[in-house]
Amino acid sequence: MIRVILPAHLRILAKVEGEVKLDLEGPVTQRSILDALEARYPALCGTLRDHVTRQRRPFVRFFACEEDLSHDSPDAPLPDAVAKGTEPFLVVGAIAGG
Amino acid sequence: MADKTSGVRVLVGTRKGAFILASDGKREKWDVSGPHFAGWEMYHIKGSPADPNRLYASQSSGWFGQLIQRSNDGGKTWEPVDNKFVYDGVPGTHQWYDGKPHPWEFKRVWHLEPSLNDPDTVYAGVEDAAIFRSTDAGKSWQELAGLRCHSSGNRWQPGAGGMCLHTILLDPSSPGRMYVAISAAGAFRTQDSGQTWKPINQGLRSIYIPDPNAEIGHCVHRIAMHRSRPNVLFMQKHWDVMRSDDGGDLWHDVSGNLPGEAVSHPQEDGTTKNFDAKGFGFVIDVHAHEPETIYVVPIKSDSQHFPPEGKLRVFRSRTGGNEWEPLTKGLPQRDCYVNVLRDAMAVDSLDKCGVYFGTTGGQVYASADAGDSWAPIVRDLPAVLSVEVQTLS
The mean per-residue pLDDT over the stretch B228-233 comes to: 97
Judged against a pLDDT cut of 80, whether residue B1 lies above it is answered with no
**What is the b/e burial string over B220-239, where b = at least 16 CB atoms within 10 angstroms of the residue's CB?**
bbbbbbbbeebebbbbbbbb
Judged against a pLDDT cut of 70, whether residue B392 lies above it is answered with yes
Q: What is the DSSP string of chain A?
A: -EEEE--HHHHHHHT--S-EEE---S--BHHHHHHHHHHH-GGGTTTSB-TTT-PBPTTEEEEETTEE-TTS-TTSBPPHHHHHTSSPEEEEEPP---
Q: 3-state class of B153 per DSSP?
A: helix
The mean per-residue pLDDT over the stretch B49-64 comes to: 97
Cα B63 to its chain centre, rounded Å, is: 25
For residues B356 and B345, is the Cβ–Cβ distance under 8 A?
yes
pLDDT at B85: 98
CATH 2.130.10.10 fits domain B7-392 = yes
Task: Assign domain A2-93 one CATH number from 3.30.70.360, 3.40.1000.10, 3.40.50.800, 3.10.20.30.
Answer: 3.10.20.30
Share of chain B above pLDDT 90, in %: 87
- Is pTM beyond 0.90? Reply is yes
Judged against a pLDDT cut of 70, whether residue B323 lies above it is answered with yes
pLDDT at B4: 47
Judged against a pLDDT cut of 90, whether residue B338 lies above it is answered with yes
For residues B294 and B225, is the Cβ–Cβ distance under 8 A?
no
pLDDT at B279: 86
Q: Which residue, B36, B45, B42, is CA-closest to B14?
A: B42
Residue A97's pLDDT band (boundaries 50, 70, 90)?
A: low
Q: Mean pLDDT, chain B, as a whole number?
A: 95
Residues 6 or more apart whose CB falls under 8 angstroms from that of B346 comprise B10, B285, B355, B356, B357, B387, B388, B389
pLDDT at B3: 44
Residue B274's pLDDT band (boundaries 50, 70, 90)?
A: confident
The pLDDT tens digits for B60-114 are 999 999 999 999 999 999 999 999 999 999 889 999 998 899 999 999 999 999 9
The mean per-residue pLDDT over the stretch A46-65 comes to: 95
pLDDT at B190: 98
pLDDT at B264: 78
The mean per-residue pLDDT over the stretch A36-41 comes to: 97
The pLDDT tens digits for B154-190 are 999 998 889 999 999 999 999 899 999 999 999 999 9
Cross-chain residue pair A93–B63, CB shorter than 8 Å: yes
pLDDT at A49: 97
Residue of A6, A10, A13, A34 for testing the chain B interface, max B β-carbons within 10 Å: A13
Question: Could you tell me if B96 lies within 8 Å of chain A, comparing CB atoms?
Answer: no
Residue B5's pLDDT band (boundaries 50, 70, 90)?
A: low
Q: Prior bond to B46 cis, omega within 30?
A: no
Cross-chain residue pair A46–B39, CB shorter than 8 Å: no
Judged against a pLDDT cut of 70, whether residue A94 lies above it is answered with yes
**Domain residue extents for chain A:** 2-93
For residues B94 and B163, is the Cβ–Cβ distance under 8 A?
yes
Q: What angle do CA B175, B177, B187 make, to 5 degrees?
A: 150
Residue B365 is which amino acid?
Answer: Y
pLDDT at B324: 98
pLDDT at B66: 98
The mean per-residue pLDDT over the stretch B341-345 comes to: 98
For residues B42 and B11, is the Cβ–Cβ distance under 8 A?
no
Question: Could you tell me if B176 lies within 8 Å of chain A, comparing CB atoms?
Answer: no
The pLDDT tens digits for B194-205 are 999 999 999 999
Q: Which residue, B68, B8, B76, B5, is CA-closest to B40?
A: B68
Residues belonging to chain A with any Cβ–Cβ distance to chain B shorter than 8 Å: 7, 9-10, 13, 43, 45-48, 51-52, 57, 59-60, 93-94, 96
Cross-chain residue pair B84–A46, CB shorter than 8 Å: yes
The mean per-residue pLDDT over the stretch B264-270 comes to: 75
Question: Could you tell me if B104 lies within 8 Å of chain A, comparing CB atoms?
Answer: no
Q: What is the phi-psi region of residue B162: left when phi exceeds 0, alpha when psi lies from -120 to 50, beta otherwise? A: left
Residue of A51, A57, A96 with shortest CB distance to B84: A51
Q: Alpha helices of B96-223 — where are they, by DSSP H?
A: none
Cross-chain residue pair A52–B86, CB shorter than 8 Å: yes
**Domain residue extents for chain B:** 7-392
Cβ atoms within 10 A of the Cβ of B10, count? 26
Question: Could you tell me if B152 lies within 8 Å of chain A, comparing CB atoms?
Answer: no
Residue B2's pLDDT band (boundaries 50, 70, 90)?
A: very low
